[in-house]
A and B are shown apart, each in its own frame.
Chain A
Amino acid sequence: IAGITQAPTSQILAAGRRMTLRCTQDMRHNAMYWYRQDLGLGLRLIHYSNTAGTTGKGEVPDGYSVSRANTDDFPLTLASAVPSQTSVYFCASRPGTSDTDTQYFGPGTRLTVL
């Protein structure tokens, strides 16, 4: 069982380019999340999905979009990357939205926008 996988592991991207970060989980979890983590700041929620077919905006959604066509995949797209989107991106999932459900994290994608 792989858990949660993310791709790519790291990427250097020119400003203005489009980029999709991939996230796949094999735990059949209903809820999935995208966070960014920047030095000195806590994890900040970008977008989330409580179940396949639904998505919602988190704390910092601008410049990002997501889709949830099925249970396993939750890609994050940067339509036109900007340097302020340089960050480490973590995908996470949890079985549901019950308060006792733990979030499990993927290994992260380190993105640099020049």
Chain B
Amino acid sequence: GQNIDQPTEMTATEGAIVQINCTYQTSGFNGLFWYQQHAGEAPTFLSYNVLDGLEEKGRFSSFLSRSKGYSYLLLKELQMKDSASYLCAVEDSNYQLIWGAGTKLIIKP
């Protein structure tokens, strides 16, 4: 079967760093996406990894290890506006996205 696992909820402090993990088992792999979703809104694209290693985009970085079926999203210098759910999704061999349930990130002042 296909499975994407991520923690249900995490809490962090404003200004700190947080790492959100995602592990996956899918039929085929054509890339891994991270999306951000604020409450009551649509998901918006954050990052894409297809090769092993770290992709950096400003305060956000995403890491992929295909051999381990593992990715993480790293958020630095946390701001209150980063309070949201973070969705991990893997593109399978049919080019469809398989989604994790999302990690709700709570930022405290």
Measured CB to CB, the residues of A under 8 A from B are 35, 40-45, 48, 58, 90, 97-100, 102-108
Smallest CB gap from A6: residue in B? B42
B41 touches A107 (CB 8 A): yes
Cα of A103 to Cα of B44 in the assembled complex, Å = 9
Over the window 62-81 of chain B, the binary record of Cβ atoms lying under 8 Å from chain A Cβ atoms (1 yes, 0 no) is 00000000000000000000
Task: Chain B residues near A35: list those with CB within 8 A.
Answer: 99
B31 touches A42 (CB 8 A): no
Chain B interface size, as a band, is 20 to 34
Task: Chain A residues near B30: list those with CB within 8 A.
Answer: 99
Task: Chain A residues near B91: list those with CB within 8 A.
Answer: 99
Q: DSSP majority for the A interface?
A: loop
| Contact partner, A100, options B31, B42, B43, B97, Cβ 8 Å | B31
Rounded to whole Å, the gap between the CB of B43 and the closest CB of chain A is 5
**Assuming A102-B33, A102-B48, is B101 touching A42 (CB within 8 A)?**
yes
B31 touches A105 (CB 8 A): no
**Assuming A99-B50, A103-B45, is B99 touching A42 (CB within 8 A)?**
yes
Task: Chain B residues near A102: list those with CB within 8 A.
Answer: 33, 45, 48
| Contact partner, B43, options A40, A43, A44, A45, Cβ 8 Å | A43
Cα of A48 to Cα of B98 in the assembled complex, Å = 13
Task: Chain B residues near A42: list those with CB within 8 A.
Answer: 4, 87, 89, 98-102
